[in-house]
Amino acid sequence: MRALVFITILSCHLAAATPPVDLFKGSGHAPDHTYRIPSLAVTRKGTLLAFAELRKNSAGDTGDIDTVVKRSTDGGKTWSAETVALDLDGNTIGNACPVVDPATGRITVVAVWNKVPENQIKAGFGEDSRRVYLAQSDDDGVTWSKPEDISPQVKQPGWGWFASGPGAGIVLARGSHKGRMVIGANHRETEGDAPGYYAHTIYSDDSGKTWQSSRTFAARHTNECEVVELADGKLLLNMRNHGSGQRDRAVALSKDGGETWEETHWDAHLPEPQCMGSILRQSWPGAGTPGLILFSNPASRSGRRDLVLRGSRDDGQTWPLAKLIQPGDAAYSHLAVLPDGAIAIAYETDRYSRIAFTTVRAGELRPAEDVVKPDGTPRDTPAP
């Protein structure tokens, strides 16, 4: 009988991931043509928020694009109707990056605006520039403040493109900068000897009232990124490759809360096809148990396919745990940890026609060698 009880408990703990559901699904025509760029956040009350870009008239990156949000109060089992969090003049406002203040419960979302395509964007703060906005909610994500332009705080005049995340921000839990909000970002240098794309961070020490950008950046050819806090107080920036022949994720460390960044390295254990990835701390070390950091992205060097969730017990130095979430077509993804410890995952699939959602448990992660080959790509997946 004891064995039967043990087996029952173990099987519940290791239960398979919940079947994916459609979180956002485009119709292929106006006014809800395509949804892209998922982002998740858990509020102080435990509500799960899911953000996306509503691309009203086409699947393109420019046009009439709003930031929309859905709410779930039961861990993603059911969802509210979508509401608009940010909408500006029929132009693009997207790449939503939420961050939740654990002290007040206020939710701040940083997003970026433009009205012309990326290749036409000019440096500075004019009508053809890329601008940075924020909106806030004090009622658990039900309503949002009027977007506020914070471009002069975080963008240099010589920068053309500027993007928040995609992903979410964090609030530092340890060290001398405890309470600081930090969000991954990237920009395009148009001046100097090395024009191109660079990842960096923006941060706030007053609960999102004012912001500034890091004083140094990651190496050239990095852009979309997300940050995670390590057990020793350092920050790890995990970045997409943009414009380099390297088909691995880029990583860099900060010892001062995201103000400056050390040398950039390429992590050969994290292959990528030039696509957004998501990194997140699931637990801190304690009572003789190592913490767990999670990472998700399409585990391919050739195309956006085969979404893999990985786990690290040594603050991102190695990734010995893995689970294949979506074989075949998969692109941008984002992670959140629910109040009961479950891992929430939102991801693009089916050629950007929908954003799917599922949850898994940390216990479902398997030894990486059972899931991925030595080069980090998945075993036994269907052909594209």
For the chain, what is the radius of gyration of the CA atoms? Answer: 20
Question: Around Cβ 182, how many Cβ atoms within 10 Å?
Answer: 25
d(CA 218, CA 48): 31
Residue with tokens 């530092």: 172
No. of helices (H) and no. of strands (E), the chain = 3, 25
DSSP letters of 262-329? ---EEEEEEE-SS---EEEEEE--BTTB--EEEEEEE--SSSSEEEEEEEESSTTS---EEEEEEEEE
**Cβ within 8 Å of residue 339, ≥6 positions away:** 42, 46, 75
Residue of 210, 111, 113, 89 whose CA lies nearest to 166: 111
* Catalytic member of 224, 229, 272, 348: 224
| H-helix segments, the chain | 2-13, 151-154, 368-371
Q: Is 224 a catalytic residue?
A: yes
Of 292, 295, 302, 243, nearest to 267 by C-alpha is 295
Rounded to whole angstroms, the maximal C-alpha distance in the chain is 73
What is the distance between the alpha carbons of residues 98 and 111, in angstroms, rounded to a whole number? 9
DSSP state, residue 35: E
Give the residue among 119, 118, 91, 279 at the shortest CA–CA distance from 183: 279
Best CA proximity match to 361, nearest among 10, 4, 3, 8: 10
List Cα–Cα distances, 245 to 104, 248, 283, in angstroms.
Answer: 44, 9, 34
Cβ partners under 8 Å of residue 60, min gap 6? none
Provide the annotated active-site residues: 224
